[in-house]
Structure 1
Amino acid sequence: MIKFPVKPVVKWAGGKTKILNQLSKYFPREYFNYHEPFMGGGAVFFYLFEEIRNKNAKAYLSDSIEEIINLYRVIRDDVERLITISKKHIYDQKYYYNIRSQDTAELDDIQRASRTLYLNKTCFNGLYRVNSKGQFNVSFGDYTDPVIVNEEALRNASRTFQQAELYAGDFEIVMKNARAGDFVYFDPPYVPLSPTSNFTGYTSGAFGFADHRRLREVFSALQERGCYVMLSNSNTEFVRDLYRGCNIKTINAIRAINSDASKRGSIKELVVLSYPDHKCQFGHPHLQFNLRSGGIKSCL
């Protein structure tokens, strides 16, 4: 079977590329299909692709950001036309704001995908943020000759998406297809560490505490179904309490975006597992876990 390098085709604030070496040891050793309801840049999916392909398994990928899912569908179904159209873009501030101001309702799917790709590659820090009307409003980014069209990366991504189902919508869509023995990875907008670090407004409706509690219920339902469930989130008391009784790990991540430059750099994040260590890629079955009594069903 021919191997080819696969990596994210968009920049993504909070993407997992730089911490895959830490996350990967907690992936389950064995699983059937793969589900990622907060697709974003898809670093974990691309990392797992060869394994998914070798299993002849399927990936179910979704996100609430319709423009990102549309981009991935176009990459899957018509990557060559996307490449051709996107090569016409130029890195220029005035041009950027003209493209940003376009009404997506007047564009076809390929034009929308090309617009999303361009904005992602040239906006500030690869952020995805919209206003109350759902309009993308991230400012122009200051770069030196940014690569807007990476043909090899786009074509390789197109090959990976042939084995994927792509959905735009709420994370609860995972309940439709997840079965016992499947691996589900949740990477939601993080619970803010402080009022000034709230970056949950990716869509016009921010992902709030009620959504995190709803996600916890889905996490538990998937566990009861027999899925291997893994979740990333911030190292906060709220998250630790919400997932008390689960197998919680602490990892080091790099936080590049913060209004306070002194707070950028290494930071602790949590990885929550519904399964014990001996089910992980590199398990330590001798470790003991504390079970939660009452409330939401315990993980372990």
Structure 2
Amino acid sequence: MAAPGRSSRGDVRSFIKWAGGKTRYAAQLVAAAPPFTGRYWEPFMGSAAVFFELSPAKAVLSDANPELVACFQAVAAQPEAVMARLDAMANTPENFALVRRQNPAELDAVERAARVIYLNKTAFRGLWRVNRRGLFNTPYGAYDRPYYRRETLLEASRALAEVDVRLCDFADALREAEAGDWVFLDPPYLPEGGFADFKRYTSGQFRNDDHERLAAAMHAASARGVLLTMTNSDTDATRAIYAGFRTTRMATRRDINLRAAARASFDLVLTNY
């Protein structure tokens, strides 16, 4: 029998990887999840690794990145069409440059989703990075690997079938969450230096005042009985901005860091339970 708040879908994984995503730690985070009776929320969706690990019965996934949201929506609705489109996309520097220049507004839903997955699998380290005009600018990664695994994408599509996937600001999600819901938050981290400072996966940046805004929204949701978990960098600034929440440290790796010695680190896990 599934645990409270969870379905019985079994082992499901994300079909993409995302810089800062929690694929490696999803099982650990789910194991430490609070008992909850309402909906599961993930306002910084990314690869939605914790969602797929948890397999909640009711969920709302959201993000401020319109391409990511459009991709998840299309995978949920038209997985076969997305895979067929990917099969027609060559993994070459020339085609990568062509796809990177495409205007998503000129693509249909399937083409738009395939573009996200293709760039995620072929760009350098899978990094989704855009400039201030919203144009994707990560270089080609020259990786010889499949764009997708059929069963993984189909299982993900089934898991997403009844999920509310939205384009919205985190504050809107936190404002709507109710007592008994569990919200897992994995925002762009407060700066530690180097690659850890990356935060441009939309045309705007996630700045310190956004963290202040997030902390205020979390406190307001907590006062209503919403259960909260957030991961962030282990810094004095994080502890100061998010004062009032319980903190524990989680050993992690920074695979996006080019220096192997700099990859080992710790994250903070902040909760109100």
User: TM-score range with shorter-chain normalisation?
Assistant: over 0.9
Q: Quick check: 1:91–1:146 contact (8 Å CA) kept in 2?
A: no
Question: What is the identity, as a one-letter code, of the residue corresponding to 1:11?
Answer: K
- 1:230 Cα deviation after fit: 0.6
Q: Quick check: 1:22–1:251 contact (8 Å CA) kept in 2?
A: no
Q: State the structure with more CA Rg.
A: 1
Change (3 A) 1:136 1:173: same
- 1:194 Cα deviation after fit: 2.2
Query: 2:267 — aligned with what?
Result: 269
> Which stretches in structure 2 are left out of the alignment for 5+ residues?
1-6
- 1:239 Cα deviation after fit: 0.6
Query: 1:181 — aligned with what?
Result: 180
Query: 2:79 — aligned with what?
Result: 79
Q: Percent same amino acid at aligned positions?
A: 37
Q: Quick check: 2:9–2:159 contact (8 Å CA) kept in 1?
A: no
2:224 pairs with 1:225: yes
Query: 2:111 — aligned with what?
Result: 111
- 1:82 Cα deviation after fit: 1.1
Q: C-alpha offsets along residues 172-202 of structure 1, whole Å, 9 cap, x if unaligned?
A: 1213531100000110000011266310111
Question: What is the identity, as a one-letter code, of the residue corresponding to 1:7?
Answer: R
- 1:128 Cα deviation after fit: 0.8
- Give the SS at the match of 2:25: helix
Change (3 A) 1:4 1:261: closer
Q: C-alpha offsets along residues 211-262 of structure 1, whole Å, 9 cap, x if unaligned?
A: 0000001100110110101100000001111222321010101111125453
- Give the SS at the match of 2:251: strand
Q: Quick check: 2:27–2:50 contact (8 Å CA) kept in 1?
A: no
Question: What is the identity, as a one-letter code, of the residue corresponding to 2:117?
Answer: L
> Which stretches in structure 1 are left out of the alignment for 5+ residues?
276-300
- Give the SS at the match of 2:15: coil
Give matches, 1:132-143, under 5 Å: 132-143=132-143
After TM superposition, the score normalised by the length of structure 2 is 0.93
* Aligned positions, number: 267
Give matches, 1:77-226, under 5 Å: 77-143=77-143, 145-194=144-193, 197-226=196-225
Q: Distance in 2 between matches of 1:195 and 1:47?
A: 30
Question: What is the identity, as a one-letter code, of the residue corresponding to 2:238?
Answer: V
Q: Quick check: 1:223–1:274 contact (8 Å CA) kept in 2?
A: yes
Query: 1:31 — aligned with what?
Result: 37
Q: C-alpha offsets along residues 110-143 of structure 1, whole Å, 9 cap, x if unaligned?
A: 1111111111111111111101110011111132
Question: What is the identity, as a one-letter code, of the residue corresponding to 1:82?
Answer: V
Q: Quick check: 2:174–2:218 contact (8 Å CA) kept in 1?
A: no
Of 8-17 and 22-31, more deviation after overlay is shown by 22-31
Q: Distance in 2 between matches of 1:209 and 1:2?
A: 39
Question: What is the identity, as a one-letter code, of the residue corresponding to 2:46?
Answer: G
- 1:12 Cα deviation after fit: 0.8
Q: Distance in 1 between matches of 2:60 and 2:164?
A: 5
After TM superposition, the score normalised by the length of structure 1 is 0.85
- Give the SS at the match of 2:118: helix
Change (3 A) 1:180 1:2: closer
CA RMSD of aligned residues (A): 1.6
Q: Distance in 2 between matches of 1:183 and 1:61?
A: 12
Q: Distance in 1 between matches of 2:157 and 2:125?
A: 24
Question: What is the identity, as a one-letter code, of the residue corresponding to 2:53?
Answer: Y
2:46 pairs with 1:47: no
Question: What is the identity, as a one-letter code, of the residue corresponding to 1:91?
Answer: N
Question: What is the identity, as a one-letter code, of the residue corresponding to 1:246?
Answer: F
- 1:210 Cα deviation after fit: 0.0
- Give the SS at the match of 2:174: helix
Change (3 A) 1:179 1:155: same
Q: Distance in 1 between matches of 2:110 and 2:196?
A: 34
Query: 2:3 — aligned with what?
Result: none
Change (3 A) 1:60 1:3: closer
